[in-house]
Chains A and B, each alone.
Chain A
Amino acid sequence: ETGVTQTPRHLVMGMTNKKSLKCEQHLGHNAMYWYKQSAKKPLELMFVYSLEERVENNSVPSRFSPECPNSSHLFLHLHTLQPEDSALYLCASSQEVQGKLFFGSGTQLSVL
């Protein structure tokens, strides 16, 4: 596989569920990101990892918990989400932090 792959593509969950989003990059990049994209709003940076260490956390609620076990894999663990968390969640990677981003196909999340 090439590029940045994300699973699942679609996810429907209740507010009491626990689920995880997975991202894998095959580009040899050093940085990985989680972004949230909602209608009519700019892409919102959630988390940045550089060389497996978190370098930025943009005041994201604790119901979102990232995990970066190595430079190729990134997870976003979700628990007790709210309906307003429904959005497209995008994973991205880059060679250097905040450089040229390569995005995965995203996970469309619906919280009921």
Chain B
Amino acid sequence: QKEVEQNSGPLSVPEGAIASLNCTYSDRGSQSFFWYRQYSGKSPELIMFIYSNGDKEDGRFTAQLNKASQYVSLLIRDSQPSDSATYLCAVTASASKLTFGTGTRLQVTL
């Protein structure tokens, strides 16, 4: 079982819709959760982090964490073509090791 699992996509959503990106993790002791955005040919950029169960909102982005079910998700409201990128989920598991998923490629269509 992969430590951090994401659907590789592509996930295609129309402009203005809500994009929902999901991530599951295997280590129940995981404590910190991060979402990075990576445009093609660029390096990853941190866009959201969450430490506690529930929702955390920042502008059009909402991170959702459910530790009991071991998943974390990222919602992007009012999706724009500029949101088209690969979104990497990263989890700090036991012993503070940060583990990345393979990423989900998002395509926002006009």
Contact = CB atoms under 8 A, between A and B. Distances in A.
Interface of A: 40-43, 45, 56, 90, 97-106
Nearest to A58: B97
Interface residues of B, number: 22
Interface of A is mostly: loop
A41 B103 CA distance: 9
Main secondary structure of the interface of B (DSSP, over half): strand
A45 B98 contact: yes
Contact of A98 (B42, B44, B92, B101): B92
Contact of B97 (A41, A43, A98, A100): A98
Interface of B: 4, 8, 32, 34, 36, 42-46, 49, 88, 90, 92, 96-103
Contact of B102 (A40, A100, A105, A106): A40
A42 B46 contact: no
Contact of A101 (B97, B98, B101): B98
